[in-house]
Chains A and B, each alone.
Chain A
Amino acid sequence: MKLSWGNEKVELSDILERLSDISEKENRAVIIVIDESQELRKLKGYNLLSPIAYAYDNLSTKFILTGSEIGMVHKFLKLNDPKSPLFGRAMSDVVVKPFPKEVALEFMRRGFDQFSVKVEDKLLEEVYEEVGGIPGWLTYYGFQYIQERDHKKALAKTIHSGVSLIRREFNNFLIGREVAKRRYYTIVKTCKKGGRWSDIRRALEAQEGLKVDDKKVTELIQNLVDASFLVKDGEEYRPADVLIGQAF
């Protein structure tokens, strides 16, 4: 099947309408999943929110938008912006948080059970301390351990891969934000062990030798929170997971 984007270009609302007709005729739900949907913020010259809003209001097609940067997904959808086509529409959020310690340990134990491998709890605890509770990295450690049968090597490989991936994602985050690159690095480094808003402003001003506008400080921090590099924990901002702290 070919779709044209040229002169006789296909309209996404036509496709959604036809899919909705098919859904009703065939008595089968049509579910459109957009993975890493925060990338849609970069779409130029076309407002995808309009066909999505049309489908939401009139059609039976359903949407699932997933993303590792949930704040950016919200920024794209603009549900709270009265000028947005999707303003006020209801949606459900499913937030998958890193596992807490006990769940992470049990997750690893059960994974190793499937291979009839026994790994000491103190080693699993070390994995949790170094890697955190993101299931993908715990699984990666488990896979490496099964390959190597060596805790230190498996842990080192997991940390190396995790840190490399985070640095690559951070570089992607900086695309289009190159002017503020130094500032973003200063913020994540200041928050490595936790930092308050005032600590961040002080660090930026020390680096630049100039007063930095309060609104700008807040905006830069919020961008990092939206991109899931930082989380707000009480009065402090911290790395969203252990490996992010190790990457900077």
Chain B
Amino acid sequence: MKETDALWIYLDLRKFEAKGYLSYRDIVLELEKSLQGLPKKIKKMLVPIKGSQLSRS
């Protein structure tokens, strides 16, 4: 498997440093944001997952 051509998914949790707690929603939204950066082809491959949909834009 090629690591030089890897698909990187980056979750930046710094913005939660001043928060007292995190919820499942926070993690899902952060993941959603990081998945936007994946190639369209890859995002299409993810969409059959329950609870996901591709944006129209």
* Bound pair (A, B): yes
Q: What is A's interface to B at a CB cutoff of 8 Å?
A: 1-5, 8-12, 14-15, 18-19, 21-37, 39-40, 42-46, 48, 60, 169, 171-172, 175-176
Across the interface, B53 reaches (CB within 8 A) one of A2, A19, A24, namely A2
Q: Is the CB of A33 within 8 A of B35?
A: no
Complex: A29 Cα to B26 Cα, angstroms? 26
Shortest Cβ-Cβ A-B pairs, 7 listed: A10-B51, A29-B6, A39-B13, A5-B25, A4-B51, A5-B28, A3-B32
Task: Find out whether the CB atom of A175 lies under 8 angstroms from the CB atom of B18.
Answer: yes
Q: B53 — nearest CB in chain A belongs to which residue?
A: A2
Return the chain A residue nearest B18 by Cβ: A172
Size of the B side of the interface (Cβ < 8 Å), in residues, is 44
Please name all residues of chain B whose beta carbon is closer than 8 Å to the beta carbon of A43 when the two chains form the complex. 21-24, 26-27
CB distance from A41 to the nearest CB of B (A): 9
B22 and A12 contact, CB distance less than 8 A: no
- Contact string against A for B residues 5-29, beta-carbon threshold 8 Å, 1 for contact and 0 otherwise: 1111111111011111111111111
Determine whether the beta carbon of B16 is less than 8 Å from that of A11: no
Show 10 A/B contacts (Cβ-Cβ < 8 Å), sorted by A: A1-B54, A3-B28, A12-B31, A21-B45, A28-B5, A29-B3, A40-B13, A42-B19, A42-B22, A43-B21
Distance A113 CA – B17 CA, assembled complex (angstroms): 36
CB pair B31–A15 under 8 Å, yes or no, is: yes
The reply to whether B7 and A31 contact each other, CB–CB distance below 8 Å, is yes
Contact of B55 with A35 in the complex, beta carbons under 8 Å = no
Residues of B within 8 A of A (CB): 1-3, 5-14, 16-29, 31-32, 35-36, 42-43, 45-55
Least Cβ distance of B44 to chain A in Å?
9
Inter-chain contacts of B47 with A (CB < 8 A): 1
- In the complex, the answer to whether B17 meets A22 with C-beta atoms within 8 Å is no
A10 adjacent to B7 (CB under 8 Å): no
A171: nearest chain-B partner, CB-CB: B18
A63 to chain B minimum Cβ distance, whole angstroms, is: 10
Are B24 and A176 in touch, CB under 8 angstroms?
no
- Contact flag A12-B7 (CB < 8 Å), given A18-B46, A18-B49: no
10 additional contacts (CB under 8 A) given A2-B52, A36-B13, A46-B23? A3-B32, A5-B28, A14-B49, A19-B46, A22-B45, A27-B2, A34-B11, A35-B14, A39-B19, A48-B27
Residue of A whose beta carbon sits closest to that of B40: A1
A1 near B20 with CB under 8 A, answer no
